[in-house]
Copies of this chain bind each other. A is one copy, B any other.
Amino acid sequence: MRDAVRQATLAELVDHGYPGLTVERVAERSGVHKTTVYRRWGNVEGLISDALELAKDEPWPVPDTGSIEGDLRGIVQLVRSGFADPELGPVSSAFVAAAVQNAEAARALHEFFMARHEQSAEVVRRAVARGELPDVVDVREVIRVAVAPVYYRLFVAHEPVSERDADRAADAALAAARAGVL
């Protein structure tokens, strides 16, 4: 039942955006009784938080190419291709959009990204262990700086993101880490 409600929440978010999301519609789409949805999820914010909570635990295939350059590029390309994916892209975009409109959704998305940064930072830790980067490096900041230009293009400047743009963002974060800035 939790998964049915979650899938319905995602589909409704994609179809109608945050302003169009209602408990009634999610209940109808999921086939779960309205009173049950209200009792268990409370409101729209509860539905979004729960959907993101589930997303946080989804496998995120952290690359392991043997070099920090390959791994960082791999992570940024995963972000780029995820948003370009016809199924996944609209769902992820709907989360970003919901979070700028609602504080509860923002908190849930924050938690999601903290988990994602922590998972992804593994590639930086491995690079430190291999002696590719200084051990004073801020492992999560390398991830933030690497992915930020992709999100900036997509959700702020509203520009397309090419594969080359993504590689360049990864390379820039790596150059900064090597220079001791991060």
Determine the interface band of chain A, counting residues with CB < 8 A from chain B. Answer: 35 or more
The interface bits of chain A over 145-159 (1 if a CB of B lies within 8 angstroms of the residue's CB, else 0) are 101110111011111
CB atoms of A149 and B144 under 8 A apart: yes
Q: Residue on B with the closest CB to A159?
A: B110
Flag whether A11 is at the interface (Cβ < 8 A): no
Flag whether A175 is at the interface (Cβ < 8 A): yes
Partner of A145 from the list B18, B117, B169 (CB cut-off 8 Å) is: B169
- Collect the chain B residues with CB atoms within 8 Å of residue A18's CB: 101
- Collect the chain B residues with CB atoms within 8 Å of residue A182's CB: 168, 172
- Collect the chain B residues with CB atoms within 8 Å of residue A179's CB: 175, 178-179
Smallest CB-CB A-B distances: 10 pairs: A172-B176, A148-B152, A175-B179, A148-B148, A113-B157, A19-B19, A110-B158, A97-B100, A175-B176, A148-B149
A-B contact pairs, 23 of them (CB 8 A): A17-B101, A18-B101, A96-B100, A97-B100, A97-B101, A99-B155, A99-B156, A99-B158, A106-B158, A107-B158, A109-B157, A110-B159, A114-B157, A148-B152, A148-B169, A151-B155, A151-B156, A155-B155, A155-B156, A168-B182, A175-B178, A176-B176, A179-B179
Interface residue ranges, A against B (CB under 8 Å) = 17-19, 93, 96-97, 99-101, 106-107, 109-110, 113-114, 117, 141, 144-145, 147-149, 151-153, 155-159, 168-169, 171-176, 178-179, 181-182
